[in-house]
Amino acid sequence: MSAMGNNLSTRITLEQSRVVVVGGTSGIGFAVAEAAAHAGAEVIVASSNPERVAVALKRLPEGTRGESFDVTDETQMSAFFARVGAFDHLVYTAGESLLLQTLAELSIEAAQQAFEVRYWGALKAVKYATPLIRKGGSITLTSGVASTRPLPAWTIASSILGAMESLTRALAVELAPLRVNAVAPGVLRTDMWNSMSETDREGLYTFIAEKMPVQRVGEASDVAQTYLHLMQQGYSTGQVVVVDGGHVLV
């Protein structure tokens, strides 16, 4: 990784760095991978879906690498990072569609499974990535504004996002001086909402947009630059940066 600095500050650039994006084949992760590659980084994306990996690699800048493995499987996670070797920045954006059910209809088994990719997958990634991250590197995880602004039926989703934020702060203390931060997006037009019907999905987007100060629903590209900022901002750690178009204000 290229770094320049003096006694007062350290300037970090992504040029010639290595960035691993787990969940980097769609949505926010894809946008982060694309932006990092354009910033001069060697990018490696990972996903549980081999078809998504193949499609993403056709769209991402030349030189981007990708692998498919089960992010909930600890053995496969460990083996993936062993193959990656030394690198500079880990970004974890992997996540299935949010489990949105009222408490009365909630399946406890489904609720437990909902934590597997978003929380336990992230923890496994951090565990096996940390020894490989070079000095000056970083880890950026993903939360969401529902951690503090849940809607009805968001009990499990909000719990997962809140757990990610607590994990971020705890890891920033334990892994120091390695920097650990998180990004908390608002509602974005991504595949995360594909479990909803098109009518319900567009209705959600319209409902949110009408309430928002920016008067629109966000795109993955709107938040990707925040991940890049946290990789390069050498004085930020333990922070959860909200990028939501003002959603938490209304």
- For 27, list phi and psi in degrees, rounded to 5: 55, -135
Residue 178: both structure tokens together: 């390695």
How many other C-beta atoms can be found within 10 angstroms of the C-beta atom of residue 216?
13
Q: In this structure, what are the phi and psi dihedrals at residue 9, rounded to the nearest 5 degrees? A: -155, 165
For residue 182, is it left (φ>0), alpha (ψ between -120 and 50) or beta? beta
The verdict on whether 147 is a catalytic residue reads no
Sign of CA dihedral 206, 91, 62, 26: negative
- 134: Cβ contacts below 8 Å, ≥ 6 apart: 1, 86, 87, 88
Pair of tokens at residue 138: 């970083």
Question: Out of 143, 147, 158, 159, which one is annotated catalytic?
Answer: 143
Question: What would the 3-class secondary structure string for 70-129 be?
Answer: CCCCHHHHHHHHHHHCCEEEEEECCCCCCCCCCCCCCCHHHHHHHHHHHHHHHHHHHHHH
Cα separation, 224 vs 226, in Å, equals: 5
Q: Which residues are catalytic?
A: 143
